Amino acid sequence: MNGNSTRVQPEKANEPEKLHTMKLQGSIWHSLQEMEVLENAGTSVQQGLTSEEIAKREKQFGANTVSRKKTAGLFVLILSQFNQPLVYILIAAGIVTALLKEYVDSIVIFGVVLANAVIGFVQEAKALRAIESLAKSMTGAATVIRDGTKQRIQAVALTVGDVVVVQSGDEIPADLRLLLAYELQIDESALTGESLPAAKQTQPLPSDTVLADRSNMAYSSTLVTHGTGTGIVTATGNTTEVGKINRMIASADVLATPLTLKIAHFSALLLYIIGGLALVTFLIGFLRGKPALDMVMAAVALAIGAIPEGLPAAVTITLAIGVAKLAKRNAIIRKLPAVETLGSTSVICSDKTGTLTLNQMTVEEIFAGGNVFKVTGAGYAPQGEFRLNEKAIDAGSDIPLRECLVAGLLCNDSNLISDNAGGWKIEGDPTEVALITAARKAGISRESAGENLPRIDTIPFESQFQYMATLHEDTDTSNRIIYMKGSAESVLSRCTDALTNNGETGLFDLERYRGMINEIAGKGLRVLAFARRILGSGSDRITHEDVAGKMTFLGLQAMIDPTRPEALEAVKTCKTAGIGVKMITGDHERTAMAIARSIGIEDNDGINDGSSVLNGKRIAQMTDDELISSVRSTSVFARVSPGDKLRLIQALQANGATIAMTGDGVNDAPSLRQANIGIAMGITGTDVARETADMILTDDNFASIVAAVEEGRGVYDNLIKFILWTLPTNFGEGFVIIAAVAAGIALPIIPVQILWINMTTAVLLGLMLAFEPKEPGIMTRSPRLPSDPMLAGHLIFRLCLVGALLCAGAFGLFEFSLQAGHSEAAARTVASNVFVFGEIFYLFNCRSLQHSIFKTGLFSNMPLIFGVGTMTLLQILFTYAPFMNTAFHSEPIAPTDWLFIIGVGAVIFIIIELEKTIQNRFILSKTVK
């Protein structure tokens, strides 16, 4: 039923046995006839449910609320932050330093542990707010008919079978099967992704109709933008479409990031290695007759030396620095590991509306007087020009074009308003606003046109007729003029002639116009037709009979939500970087394909018939294996439901892809949670989407995602640089201890000195690599695969080489100092400085994984230069300040000792630079072959 004549016959309802015979099959309500709906629901439109029946159903169906998933308690949530191998290492280091009575170092280590735990707890607590936001979105009031009277109740009290009345501005309180609909339009974008309000009707639909096309249903949490309607509640709370999304959010897997997995594996392996080496060290010394206590201390020294105490803190701080960089590029990170995940993204799944497009409908082509005019300018700003045959024209002087624009301007109930910031706001339907903008580009304002042609009467748009018509008075002639706009078929069927190029009426060539409509629609544009009829003076009313025929065809206006200018370049950058881009939208196939081709997601060949698009209906019919195979070669997915999106993400992940998924609606929340990194829109996004996501775009722009991926790659590179820099020190310190025990001599460095080296250099030297600029060509590399090792083979070789050089330098100079007559304290001071200055020289090697420091630029990372200077001053204090000598058992050394120390560092630097040169030539030769 449509229009204002919709009625339903009275029905006996609310019989006691009806509750037991209700066939509440939520997925098929849209396919039922009206009387079947009433019979299944056990109600009537006129009377609604009785109080007695309501009480029964409340017990059966419960409250109209979304259940909140039971989460872990506060104590469990806090403890879970410590359940990580890297944290085990830090705790072990803290305990050991406490046992050694080095309480300051112990406090620092445990401080890092607590800081990591606090950050993790805060981020996880924020993530759990998503379902709470969803529950809040279902609170509010509803107008119902109960016991034969209309009343206002809390939405939470609704039950299945309730008769609900809605009007413009209302939020739909539960899932409804519509039985009355008068000009009803509902914004379902948060649920379906459809960019325009959906026109509603009441007739049954095929059972396999996808969610976005169920025009006789109204779904919970969507918004009525126009008209009125009455519907029967078919689902409440958890059984609504929004409730199903809630369950999908709860069930979607939260995946660990690639780096998190690799570091966890590495840390677990390191625990075993350190424990094994410590045991071996103890046994070697003990079997050689050394005192057990001395060997315990040697084993402890080995463990402390081999543990990379600064690694967890460095990872956290490096990611935090990445967060700050991303914020400057319109990306807000909610979960720290997401920064690194961005760098390994191999597929970006993007919504269309507002992300790849402007979310501002724009007229791009006009057919009038037999000519096709191109309209420049994108969005609602009335700036642009009209072109005919690639030449700019004066639109106001072309009579058919002007009349077509006037018809779109006057047969219109929306408004375009300039705001104080120099932008534009809209009131009403985006399609109508696009018509206003087009007219204003031609210099035709509503004020001037309305002054000459004031409106007298209106036939509002109804889905039954598919057109709108307005009656105007021509102030010059007192004639009445009818302007009509609507779907192409509805307008063309009422026309008998057409406005020709010279402004006269002429032949109405229906086949030509239909061919033009098909050609324009084939480009993915939405087409509206326009007509007029000039009447005599006197009549102040307009009826459907007045526009049933004798209309003069004025032309067509074709519009689309245009792509963002930067989206084309961003997609191109993705392809260069080896990142796949897939569009997942609730929009129609042709529109989706047109946008995909215009920005390079799809190749611009063949016809745009949507044949290469995978739609929701086909997805629903596929098995998981079929879908996993199909997603490899398909880039555009249209008319998809929330469940379809979740399946698509899972299918892509089954192919080994690391997925970044964008979304703004409630319908996107499950897939945002399932994706390796969920990206919500900051401007148009719902609270549910933002709370579920890992990252929020402040400008809703696809190009910002690509910029974030670039930053993510830079952050990952810097993390690898830190790991590559810090591990040789740990290995070198461990090797020195083992070598000393094996040789049966005093330890070249003792535990407290090892702690000093590890903690100070990690903060002042290693962390400075987090400020390293991005490597050249970072977006021309292919994405990292999840199976790729954290360190490539040649980097492991470099790591071992530097560790061996540090061990040899420290051990050698320690022995040399002893033989020169220095005390053990002085010799250990020399060995400690070998490690620190060896790390300083090697730090410059690590500024680029491949390129020479001379290509990188010595002063392109000033925080690093500051760190080196500060560390140098601290080592001078470590060597010469009496209080430091006491605390760390160091001793002043001769100036000549510094020559040997600096010499070891310089040798390490030169050898690694030569190694990088050889590696680059080897890689180049393989590439050439």
Q: Of 351, 546, 561, 668, which one is the catalytic site residue?
A: 351
Strand partners, 144: 151, 164
Q: Are 347 and 657 in contact (CB under 8 A)?
A: yes
CA 925, 927, 929: angle at the middle one, nearest 5? 70
Q: How far apart are CA 746 and CA 625, in angstroms?
A: 64
806 backbone dihedrals φ, ψ, rounded to 5°: -65, -45
75 sits in which H/E element: helix 74-80
The b-or-e profile of 546-568 (16+ CB within 10 A means b, else e) is bbeeebbbbbbbbbbbbbbeebb
Element spanning 573, H or E: helix 567-576
Sort residue 147 into left (φ over 0), alpha (ψ -120 to 50) or beta. left
User: DSSP characters for 255-313?
Assistant: PPPHHHHHHHHHHHHHHHHHHHHHHHHHHHHHHTT--HHHHHHHHHHHHHHHS-THHHH
Write out the two tokens for 619: 């997805």
What tokens does 38 get?
């009433």
Measure the CA–CA gap between 735 and 737, rounded to whole angstroms. 5
Residue with tokens 């109740």: 153
Residue 253: active-site member: no
Burial class (CB in 10 A: 0-12, 13-18, 19+), 898: middle
SS3 per residue for 427-451: ECCHHHHHHHHHHHHCCCCHHHHHH
Provide the Cα torsion 568, 572, 574, 577; round to 10°. -160
The CA-CA-CA angle for residues 844, 846, 851, to 5°, reads 90
Place of tokens 């966890």: 264
Interatomic CA distance for residues 639 and 750, integer angstroms: 67
Q: How many residues does the chain have?
A: 929
Q: Can you tell me whether residue 477 is helix, strand or coil? A: coil
Which residues, at least 6 apart from 744, have a Cβ–Cβ distance to it below 8 Å? 285, 288, 290
Strand pairing of 580-584 and 347-350? parallel
Phi, psi torsion values for 26, nearest 5 degrees: -55, -25
Strand partners, 426: 416
Say which residue the tokens 């775009």 belong to: 697
Contact partners, residue 106, CB within 8 Å, separation at least 6: 94, 95, 97, 98
Nearest to 580 by CA among 673, 674, 652, 675: 652
**C-alpha to C-alpha distance for 293 and 279, rounded to whole angstroms:** 13
Q: Is 398 left (phi over 0), alpha (psi -120 to 50) or beta?
A: beta
Strand 141-146 versus strand 163-167 pairing type: antiparallel
Whether the CB-CB separation of 227 and 181 falls below 8 Å is answered with yes
Supply the residues annotated as catalytic: 351
